[in-house]
Amino acid sequence: MIAKPMVAIVDYDEQWPQEFGRLAADLRRALGDLALRIDHIGSTSVPGLAAKDLVDIQVTVAHLDGAVADALTGIGYTERTGITADHRPPRATGPDRDWEKRLFAPPAGQRPTNLHVRIAGRANQRYALLFRDYLRAHPMAAEAYAALKRRLAPWMPDTGTYAAVKDPACDLIMCAAEAWAATTGWAPGPSDG
């Protein structure tokens, strides 16, 4: 008997954007003006891209404070302690606080979700949006990224190891994304939610 991999990559699901929309509406009601933006990020936000069946959401805030955490825990989210920053790419400039975040697990019974809370204008908040927009605009890069994820997943014992192993590939994609942003004048479009 072959053991099931700990990380499963599935084909793109046309329902992911609608599922994000429902989740974002609930978050908007709970957070109100505390949320400056609510965006669908990660692989499920890129049409056609294979992914873990887990919707990544970025809530952009002015401050990582108790009011945001209280609003989220009030609707059943649970803060994942121990995860207080994103991976910092090589040669990233600026202070370590540019990579701070809070990560929340979904309420019981909700579809698998990672809720990332990041501060407006910080490097990690921009990274998530540029990464998504670059892959949306470059289907060949998205296909190559999907192939990498499919090849990695069976060998990964858990999602944390999987993320750490693919971080350098994401950094390579970001090198191309930064060049694309510089030549196109990219800026984040309107919030998704």
The residues facing 118 across adjacent strands are 60
Query: What ranges do the domains of the chain cover?
Result: 16-181
- At 5 the pLDDT is 52
Q: CA-to-CA distance for 26 and 30, rounded, in angstroms?
A: 6
Instruction: Return phi, psi of residue 78, to 5°.
Output: -125, 125
**CATH architecture, domain 16-181:** 2-Layer Sandwich (3.30)
Q: What is the pTM of this model?
A: 0.94
**Per-residue pLDDT reduced to its tens digit, 120-149:** 999 999 999 999 999 999 999 999 999 999
**Per-residue pLDDT reduced to its tens digit, 65-122:** 999 999 999 999 999 999 999 999 999 999 999 999 999 999 999 999 999 999 999 9
| Integer CA distances (angstroms), 89 to 35, 74, 97, 124, in order | 26, 34, 14, 10
Q: Which residue has the tokens 């805030």?
A: 61
Q: Would you tell me how many other CB atoms lie within 10 Å of the CB of residue 111?
A: 14
